[in-house]
Amino acid sequence: MRFSSRRSPDRGGVPSGTRLPLRLGIAGAVALSALLLSGCVQPAPVKTPQAHATVKPLFANDADALAAATKALNDYAQMSDQILSEGGAAPARIEQFASRDALAGERRSFKSFREKGYRSVGSSRFSNPVLERVSDSDADTTDVVKIYACLELANVDVVDSSGKSVVSEGRPDRQAFEVGFDLISGSSRQLVVSSTETWTGEGVCV
């Protein structure tokens, strides 16, 4: 897969940081404790794009790619919030907004909410999206776009069946993520969230 744009932490675009070894959907991040978020980190691997014959650009420019990714991320966040607010009920609703790792992660989190009798109160949102890279071929359908974005959790609480909050007092109100997107097969530039990895260090949440 060849990429027409890449902004890695080592090449500018986003200040230095590292991936945390955590793959989380919104549901997993909502109630995550500060202790877990401040755990051991590992350097982010540098991926070398491979040569790929270009058919035609997937997006006209970087701005269009970022706009499509931002819309897909907002749609994903809105549905995730709705399912969480209903205690993880009817989790299949997330399937039209997520794929692969992101979908599997959200399914696990929704199941945990149902088993524990939890539900969320309030809405999360992503802010400060920054394009990391975008595929330059419409022949690609997976990992076509990656961005950095900040998940805002200040207005979100998680309560148990009695209405008591179960969120750690030390939980950060903001958490940076690296988010990947797949192209919906047969669609015209319509994206779904395929991966969400936490990011630590200076960056989109500063």
Q: How far is CA 22 from CA 71, 178, 196, in A?
A: 24, 11, 9
Report whether 58 contacts 52 (CB < 8 A). Answer: no
pTM: 0.77
With both helix axes pointing from N to C terminus, report the angle between 62-85 and 100-116 in degrees, rounded to the nearest 10. Answer: 20
The 10s digit of each residue's pLDDT in 102-160 is: 999 899 989 999 999 999 999 999 999 999 999 877 677 888 999 999 999 899 999 99
Domain 3-43+56-200 in CATH 1.10.260? The answer is no
Other C-beta atoms within 10 Å of 17: how many?
20
The 10s digit of each residue's pLDDT in 80-96 is: 999 999 999 999 999 99
The 10s digit of each residue's pLDDT in 161-173 is: 999 998 888 888 8
Find the angle CA(83)-CA(180)-CA(108) to the nearest 5 degrees.
35
Mean pLDDT of the chain: 77
Please state the domain extents for the chain: 3-43+56-200
